[in-house]
Amino acid sequence: MPSDGSRVQVEFAADFRDVGADLWRRCFPPPLEGQFWYRALEHSGLEEQFAFRYGVLRRGGETVGIVPCFVHDVSIALVAPRPVALLLRVLSRVFPRAGRQRTFFVGSPCSDEGSVGLLPGVNLAEVAPELIRALRAEARRLGAPMIVFKDFPEAASAALDAPARAAGFFGVVSYPGTVLALPSPDRGAYLRGLSSMQRHNFLKKLRRSRERLALETSVVERPSDRELEEIHGLFRQTYEKGATKFERLGPPFFRAVAGEEPARFILQRDPATGALLTFMLVFCLGDRVINKFIGIDYRRAGATYLYFRLFDAALDFAYARGARELQSGQTGYRAKLDLGHRLVPLHNLVRHQNRLVHAVYRMIGARVTWKTLDSDLATFLLAHP
């Protein structure tokens, strides 16, 4: 296969179906979120928030990769340090677009990590220069002056770094992901891998929770309409409590994703009333289980430690499937760190076509750290410098 990156061509499709199913399968094998994920997103009624695009890479006449992208009017306050974020919120009351920027993202709006799907043997660093040129042209066509490689893990970010910086991009730290290793053979090995303090606190919370509240746990592949209504209600409660909001997911999303093969719903009910108290949407992809979204009835939370009961059920589910790791996403770090997750550094690469705006965003980006992004991370880093 030729390795000359100059022979790369990129064409953009507006629908996941315009990319062949076999190419999706080969470029996004498990544990990556592939065609099923973009099919669910496109069937979720998100048109007012996102416009999806799919770059198809060809080299030497052969199709070799897929680049999922989307356009979104992003709030700069999501990543800006607190003083800058507060200023942007004040300005946006007078100038509604002051804190928002039409942006062409490479990645997915709801995935924990950005990915460029390539066939085996194709090197991201080699195809990156032509890919970046194509992205800039497509962004101009879409009227998006800013381009962002969103939440790319370290290996992919390193491969993109030199060609991206040569094209004028700068780097910005992103919210880290979280991953929990699941050592063999069972949950006993997981518990032994925790520190004595972590293990003591986790088991104490489970014990106290069980003393206060009985739960019935089930795993559902295709929830009924009534169950989906309950699930969305709990999701809304959790969404409203969160400080970081990027996408807004309504009932159509849950209906769409419920029909996808990798999706499972872990449900926990009050056996006395039948009320749904927690749920977790998980994807089963190879030896990885992805904790995608959760919902908790916060009216019943507090001393019942419902989050830890839900995690305990997810742990049993993952071990029953023979998974080797549980990926739990960004934000909500305090509880995840207490349960033994490790932080996974993720990076953004950013370019704005206006030099002045680019310089301002670069200045803001230089001040972004894990400490400025999240108070739980700031506390953790004080204890673990």
For 180, the 3-state DSSP assignment is strand
Query: What is the widest separation between alpha-carbon atoms in the chain?
Result: 66
Structure tokens at 173: 């730290």
What distance in Å separates the CA atoms of residue 2 and residue 356, rounded to the nearest whole number?
40
State whether 158 and 208 are in the same domain: no
Are 141 and 233 in the same domain? no
Assign residue 297 the CATH number of its domain: 3.40.630.30
pTM: 0.90
pLDDT of res. 337: 96
Structure letter (DSSP) for residue 284: E
Name beta bridge partners: 70: 52, 105
In terms of Cα–Cα distance, which of 233, 244, 352, 357 is closest to 295?
Answer: 233
My answer on whether 313 and 354 are in the same domain is: no
The pLDDT of residue 1 is 41
Rounded to 5 degrees, what are φ and ψ at 148?
Answer: -135, 125
- Do the bridges between strand 288-296 and strand 325-327 make them parallel or antiparallel, or are there none, so unpaired? parallel
* One domain, residues 89 and 212: no
Residues 6+ apart with CB under 8 A from 229: 251
Whether residues 164 and 224 fall in one domain: no
Q: Do residue 204 and residue 193 come from a single domain?
A: yes
- On whether both 215 and 183 belong to a single domain, the answer is yes
- Whole-angstrom distance, CA of residue 315 vs CA of residue 262: 17
Residue type, 236: R
pLDDT tens for the 385 residues of the chain, in order: 444 545 899 999 999 999 999 999 999 999 999 999 999 999 999 998 999 999 999 998 899 999 999 999 887 665 555 565 555 555 555 545 556 788 999 999 888 899 999 999 999 999 999 999 999 999 999 999 999 999 999 999 999 999 999 999 999 999 999 999 999 999 999 999 999 999 999 999 999 999 999 999 999 999 999 999 999 999 999 888 766 656 789 999 999 999 999 999 999 999 999 999 999 999 999 999 999 999 999 888 778 999 999 999 999 999 999 999 999 999 899 999 999 999 999 999 999 999 998 998 899 899 999 999 999 999 999 888 7
Measured at the alpha carbon of residue 34, what is the angle toward residues 100 and 65, in degrees to the nearest 5?
90
The total of structural domains in the chain comes to: 2
Contacts 24+ apart (CB under 8 A), 11-14: 11/55, 11/56, 11/58, 12/53, 12/54, 12/55, 12/56, 12/69, 12/134, 12/138, 13/53, 13/54, 13/56, 14/51, 14/52, 14/53, 14/54
In this structure, the answer to whether residues 101 and 225 fall within a common structural domain is no
Considering the domain architecture, whether residues 170 and 191 belong to the same structural domain is answered as: no
221 and 335 belong to one structural domain:
yes
pLDDT of residue 5: 43
On whether both 20 and 137 belong to a single domain, the answer is yes
User: What was the pLDDT predicted at 303?
Assistant: 80
| pLDDT for position 82 | 59
Q: Are residues 207 and 242 in the same domain?
A: yes
Q: 297: domain range?
A: 178-343
Query: Looking at residue 133, what is its pLDDT?
Result: 97
Tokens 């996403």 appear where? Answer: 329
Take residue 378 and report the two structure tokens written for it.
């700031």
- Cβ proximity of 35 and 21 under 8 Å: yes
| Residue 342, helix vs strand vs coil | strand
**Whole-number CA gyration radius for the chain:** 21
What per-residue confidence (pLDDT) applies to 204? 97
